[in-house]
Amino acid sequence: MSGTTRQAAPPSAGPPAPGGGPGEGQAARRSPALRLLARPETGVFLGAAAVFVFFLVAAPSVRQGGSMATILYQSSTIGIMALPVALLMIGGEFDLSAGVAVVTSALTASMFSYQLTLNVWTGVVLALALSLGVGALNGWMLVKTGLPSFLVTLGAFLILQGVNLAVTKLVTGNVATDDISDMDGFGQARALFASSFHVGGVQVKITVVWWLVFAALAAWVLLRTQYGNWVFAVGGDQDSARAVGVPVAFTKITLFMLVGFGAWFVGMHQLFSFDTVQSGEGVGQELIYIAAAVVGGCLLTGGHGSAVGPVFGAFMFGMVNQGIVYAGWNPDWFKAFLGAMLLGAVLINLWVRRTATRRRPA
């Protein structure tokens, strides 16, 4: 099952066998409905379905194929980043620099390619190295200093935001990068990161496919690999995890690097979609990614969550964002909906966990 809370286990151990302890015996006595409620993605699935039905009624244009393709596209650009952010949260940490890191990767690829007259793939590879390096540095500082991830990544957020603006102005003399659409390799890179294809006459962005592929891969990693056990273990209790041999430092650093990879991929999509990048963008997007993960059932305290829940969480945000437009409402209301959904999801998840884990009379 996807994303149930796991206890720290020896590195060689797989998922706990059914009926392996007294706690699991109690779980077995719960009704199927309570066991379903205990899954982290159940609440957000029901919420996403309700939001979908609501906008089908309130905004008839949502029923058109092109509108749904746009909603899925908006959801995918959130969801691709929400997945590694969710894995990091399951591991007990979060990253406030994720939003500006997306822009940093795009700026790096664009400026290196244009200013040095290189094939754009050179800039893409350099941007990947930088993004992974930023993630590794965030994780290393957290592990070595013991500081909360809030402080470490807040510092990274401010540094990257300032560097994005200052370096772009210094190199290009403007707040945006130059157009790279006529450079060598641009067509191939756009095909990978920002192309479209048609399904039944409806144009669908390639990011929708990548989003689902990454979600399936993340679910497999969490549920079928030793690394997935490590993620749940360090998020649940890192001291206990370390005591049984889980490589806590390696797990946390690689989780931050996964966020860096996600930032790189979304940054490349933005660059090859629009040919240029505004250096001041990205601020505030980290809250959207974290909110999608929280709405998807991930706890800020770590050790609980799934890869499926954030998919529905991202879909909810994409649906509301575009649904408000299709309904003809003031788009300024999106932030209000976002806050209400986040608060509601936290309260529902709290209630669901208490209901599903409540002791029953013997």
Q: What secondary structure letter does DSSP report for 175?
A: S
pLDDT confidence of residue 13: 39
Rounded distance, CA 122 to CA 200, Å?
A: 36
Q: What is the identity of the amino acid at 262?
A: G
pLDDT confidence of residue 2: 42
pLDDT tens-digit readout, 115-125:
888 899 999 99
Q: What is the identity of the amino acid at 212?
A: L
List CB contacts of 69: < 8 A, sequence separation 6 or more. Answer: 202, 203, 204, 205, 208
Rounded distance, CA 326 to CA 318, Å?
A: 12
pLDDT confidence of residue 305: 85
Residues in the chain, pLDDT under 50: 1-28, 360-362
List CB contacts of 31: < 8 A, sequence separation 6 or more. Answer: none
Rounded distance, CA 219 to CA 211, Å?
A: 12
List CB contacts of 222: < 8 A, sequence separation 6 or more. Answer: 2, 3, 87, 90, 228, 231, 232, 306, 307
pLDDT confidence of residue 118: 86
pLDDT confidence of residue 359: 52
In 225-332, alpha helices (H): 226-243, 248-274, 285-295, 309-326
Whole-structure pTM value: 0.86
Cβ pair 211, 75 in contact under 8 A: yes
Other C-beta atoms lying within 10 Å of the C-beta of residue 309: 30
